[in-house]
Amino acid sequence: MNDPRALPGEPLALDLVNTELAPDGTVVDLLATAESARAWAAAAGRVRLSVSDALAPARTLQTGEPAWQPAVLAAANLLDLLETAPDRVRPCANPDCMLWFFDTTRNGTRRWCSMAVCGNRMKARRHHDRVKARLPA
């Protein structure tokens, strides 16, 4: 299966926020259809709560409708992120990008959702601007 998520490996809450992206300037909604939503949920792991080895649940999250369980778990995950490290939840520094990420770097200075994509685009843009500024008018 091809992973449709923009940034696989991000916390679930940010995975859910990042279901709307614009890779080529056109907004794509990964949850727009039932089929694409199922593909996203499968790639995200069809979220489950687990119990510790001591068989003690850390918390209980319940919904009246099972289809809401992923959204409830994502909301709980976002609250956890904002409670433990709110300064590490950041938007990409590329003004053309709409993705968010959780900065797990040691010094907390990550700026791009992906260095391979947005980081390189921004570095190339700055280089182009510097070269253009040096050219005679």
Residues 6+ apart with CB under 8 A from 12: 44, 47, 70, 73, 74, 77
User: Is residue 99 in a domain?
Assistant: yes
CATH number, position 41: 1.10.3300.10
User: Is residue 113 in a domain?
Assistant: yes
User: Is residue 78 in a domain?
Assistant: yes
Question: Which spans in 5-68 are helix H?
Answer: 12-17, 34-44
User: Is residue 3 in a domain?
Assistant: no
Residues 6+ apart with CB under 8 A from 126: none
| Tens-level pLDDT at each residue, the chain (137 residues) | 688 888 888 888 898 889 998 888 889 898 888 888 888 888 887 755 555 666 665 556 666 677 777 778 888 888 889 899 999 999 999 998 999 999 999 999 999 999 988 988 888 888 888 988 888 87
User: Is residue 2 in a domain?
Assistant: no
Position 61 scores a pLDDT of 62
Note if the pTM is more than 0.75: no
Range of the domain at 18: 12-134
Overall number of domains in the chain:
1
